[in-house]
Structure 1
Amino acid sequence: MDTLASADLVAAFRTELDLCRVSPGETVLIFTDPRFVHPEYVPAAFAAARTLGAEVYVMTAQGDQMMDDRLVRAAWNNADMILGMSMLPRGIGSWMYTDTSNDALKAGARVLMVQEPFAGLQRMLPNENIRRRGLIGAQMMEEAKEIRVTSAAGSDYVMRKDGRKGAYQCGIADAPGRWDHWPSGMVACAPLEDSTEGIYVVEPGDVLLGLWRHAQTQVRMTFEKGRITRIEGGSDAYLLQAYLDSHGDDGAYRVSHAGWGTDERADWGAIGMDSESKYGTILVALGRNVFDAPTEHCGLGGVNNSTAHCDICCRNTSLWLDGRLIVENEQFMVPDLR
């Protein structure tokens, strides 16, 4: 990155950390690894946190760190604010699905994931409208017991979520024990792992985020008693099947989390958090969901320990909560969610 461009980075990180209520005397831990794809973020965040009066430390873990090292756990458990700039441990979706992250949240840390390209950080800088939509959606999700997803392409499946929390992301971790991801705008929950029944269809142009690609061919998944029993279609079906099979565990074939995007600024062409956050789109992921947080409307509370995690983001899809239509083909039917 151009040296002068770093000035924009520092300004953006200061704005973000101010939203996360970083204050003088707090301890900020920046966690990264040698393979992090945006190494310029580390000094920019360091400088921004210092301008806010925080005590800042950088921990660079080895590239094969599994997040269970005593030193790593001790650092995470004793920080006020953690900036996760890493995809460690490799293969399970990221550190957010580890005991180290869950325990740090329980200890009261505010935890923020930062790993998207700078264009996305700027374009989807958090605002109050995204937080408002997320909170209202999470409250509705928490009260619901059944989720149904349909589409003209043939999706029609139901998931139970009795007792599971409703959560939202808005890009701001501003309360003890809260996790968030900058940038993001979404509502989610972890359905009961044995509850999904029906047909889940992914159309060309939808995003197979776990495979880092827009689908080129239709994928048709059949769920029975919570588990995928059949994957049909062309090349993308083959790739998805191979990905799930490669993990060698039953949880790879079960739903991880389900919900919708809330940010109209998201770019469908930019694969990543833009895909999950796109306003009115439906996200139903597969695999690991052992991620929780003590704050209200944060975390998933699932019990799926699979090493797989594959987010799947679909346009032109509708979602019901307990029989009430919430989203229809990327339009919110509930005025408060608009």
Structure 2
Amino acid sequence: MLPNRIEGKWIETFVNLFKASEISAGESVAILSETLSRKQNVELAELALHQIGARPFHVIIPTPRQSVDVVIRSTGATDALRGQEAALQALASADVVIDMTIEMLLHTPELPRILAGGARLLSVSNEHPEVFERIRYDPRWQARVIAGAEMLAHADVMRVTSDAGTDLTVRIDGAQPIGGWGNAAPPHNVGSAPGALIAFYPNSGTVNGRVVLNRGDINLTFKRYLENPVSLTVKDDYIIEIEGDSIDAELMRSYFSAWGDREAYAISHLGWGMTPGARWDSLIMYDRADVNGAELRAFAGNFLLSTGANEAAGRHTLGHFDIPMRGCTITLDNRTVVDRGVLQAPLAY
């Protein structure tokens, strides 16, 4: 486990992160955290904002009780603000909110109220600051992410294939792309860091086929590389069969079934990574407590398969998997955007 001290280089890292979101001198900036948030990052955020000349203040919420017996991970939807009316008002009054909650605000029902107050939001993933030092914001990300999102918006069908046996078809007409490029600079009011990716929530009844999770793909909910293939059969959005006799397959079957909820087996968001500096192999170098997995979701050319809640399809559940897959080919209609894990023009760097 890496030491939890403050390094001058990491103050500089956070200064650069916040400047990328055009946080400027005089702006009121709320640093939202939980009692169990990574205190090192919370302190770095305060020091960096002071260096910029912004006016930071803290909103610290006690980390909520576990609401169920199953371990909840990787949802992107913290419960910390539920019922916290005074905190919501304080956040909505700020110019900028730096979100340092453990699960983040990106998919919470409270986020629209914060944005309606005029604030913009930068969610900072619960990573050790060394991750932010390595995965530095790159202004080239934005144009490529926007280009990819526009390609998604104008396509009718996504197909994902791989040499391992994946063959998944998704009807994407009408789906709304979500593009993130590591900042929350105006006029884009919501961003997350570190890294860049493209994703969307498929509409109901649009996902069918077979996904073969191969050795070296990453189950981020478990923070674990797969050591053996696991095959998922998807019919009308739902995983109806999980094949494999390895511990990887057993763990997935156990976690899916633990929820007792059909919606946990459904497809959540799909997309691909757009960050050339991010490394798929970095997880092996860190203690699990040091990382939250943003780098793995964002490494260039991965196909990101997620299961669980899907607002576009009206599905809600706490069960969630994020699984970045390597070596996949992604086509939009007949245009290849990722070829066996490699970004293609105009998305390539």
TM-score normalised by L of structure 2: 0.86
Matched with 1:266 is 278
Matched with 2:73 is none
Find 1:191's aligned residue among 184, 198, 202: 202
How far 1:302 moved relative to its partner? 5.7
CA offset digits 1:48-72 (Å, max 9, x no partner)? 2123232211111111154222123
How far 1:220 moved relative to its partner? 0.6
Matched with 1:13 is 14
| Distance (Å, rounded) in 1 between the aligned partners of 2:347 and 2:307 | 29
Identity of aligned residues (%): 27
Find 2:97's aligned residue among 78, 82, 86: 82
CA contact (8 A) 2:10 2:133 kept: no
CA contact (8 A) 1:107 1:177 kept: no
Distance 1:58 1:210, change over 3 A: same
Matched with 2:296 is 275
Secondary structure (helix, strand or coil) at the match of 1:96 reads coil
CA offset digits 1:14-41 (Å, max 9, x no partner)? 11111111123322111111212x3111
Matched with 1:91 is none
**Letter in structure 2 aligned against 1:315:** R
TM-score normalised by L of structure 1: 0.89
Distance 1:2 1:147, change over 3 A: closer
Distance 1:327 1:163, change over 3 A: same
Matched with 1:237 is 249
C-alpha root-mean-square deviation of aligned residues, in Å?
1.9
**Letter in structure 2 aligned against 1:108:** G
Q: Judge which range, 240-249 or 252-261, deviates more.
A: 240-249
Are 1:163 and 2:174 matched, yes or no? yes
| Distance (Å, rounded) in 1 between the aligned partners of 2:56 and 2:277 | 31
| Distance (Å, rounded) in 1 between the aligned partners of 2:260 and 2:115 | 30
Matched with 1:297 is none
Structure-to-structure mapping, 1:1-338, within 5 angstroms: 1=3, 5-36=6-37, 38-64=38-64, 66-68=80-82, 69-88=84-103, 94-114=104-124, 115-176=126-187, 178-233=189-244, 234-271=246-283, 272-290=293-311, 303-338=314-349
Q: Give 5+ residue unaligned stretches, structure 2.
A: 65-78, 284-292
CA offset digits 1:127-155 (Å, max 9, x no partner)? 11222221211111122222111111111
Q: When the two structures are aligned, how many residues end up with a matched partner?
A: 321
Secondary structure (helix, strand or coil) at the match of 1:141 reads helix
CA contact (8 A) 1:30 1:83 kept: yes
Q: Give 5+ residue unaligned stretches, structure 1.
A: 89-93, 291-300
| Distance (Å, rounded) in 2 between the aligned partners of 1:333 and 1:127 | 18
Secondary structure (helix, strand or coil) at the match of 2:106 reads helix
Distance 1:284 1:208, change over 3 A: same
CA contact (8 A) 2:268 2:306 kept: yes
CA contact (8 A) 2:25 2:52 kept: yes
Matched with 2:71 is none
Matched with 1:294 is none
CA contact (8 A) 2:177 2:200 kept: yes
**Letter in structure 2 aligned against 1:83:** I
Matched with 2:289 is none
Distance 1:248 1:177, change over 3 A: farther
CA contact (8 A) 2:4 2:40 kept: no
How far 1:6 moved relative to its partner? 2.7
| Distance (Å, rounded) in 2 between the aligned partners of 1:2 and 1:318 | 40
Distance 1:198 1:120, change over 3 A: same
**Letter in structure 1 aligned against 2:269:** H
**Letter in structure 2 aligned against 1:120:** V
How far 1:252 moved relative to its partner? 1.3
CA offset digits 1:312-332 (Å, max 9, x no partner)? 111111111123221111223
**Letter in structure 2 aligned against 1:238:** E
**Letter in structure 2 aligned against 1:98:** T
| Distance (Å, rounded) in 2 between the aligned partners of 1:106 and 1:202 | 40
CA contact (8 A) 1:161 1:191 kept: yes
**Letter in structure 2 aligned against 1:257:** H
CA contact (8 A) 1:116 1:183 kept: no
